[in-house]
Amino acid sequence: MTLESIIDMTGEMKHLHELVMLHVEKSGGVTCPASYFTLVSPILDMLEEEIRFRYHDGMTKEQIKYIVRDWINKEIAGMQCVI
């Protein structure tokens, strides 16, 4: 399963977008697609690591959604403390 399919399955795309936009805002914006991907790739990599660390066989869709939502919420909270 890919990260994209997990995000689609859990319905957390809008929530993830909120986190990405906080990062874009903090960085002063992006000037081109390459700078956007340079900013977003580490976020997606960290989310993927979190899922790999916390996932175990037999998890339900709701349990996976909780992992994704929990991680995004923590990251957003951390960003808002910094802003």
Q: What is the pLDDT of residues 24-75, one digit of tens each?
A: 999 898 889 998 999 999 999 999 999 999 999 999 999 999 999 999 999 9
Q: For residue 6, give every residue at least 6 positions away whose Cβ sits within 8 Å of its Cβ, in sequence order, or none.
A: 51, 64, 68
- Give me the pLDDT at residue 73, please: 97
Q: Based on the structure, what is the number of domains in the chain?
A: 1
Q: Is the C-alpha dihedral spanning 62, 16, 18, 75 positive or negative?
A: positive
- Greater pLDDT, 82 or 59: 59
Proportion of the chain above pLDDT 90, given as a percent: 83
Task: Phi first, then psi: give them for residue 31, nearest 5 degrees.
Answer: -105, -15
pTM of the predicted protein model: 0.90
Give the residue numbers spanning the domain of 8: 3-82
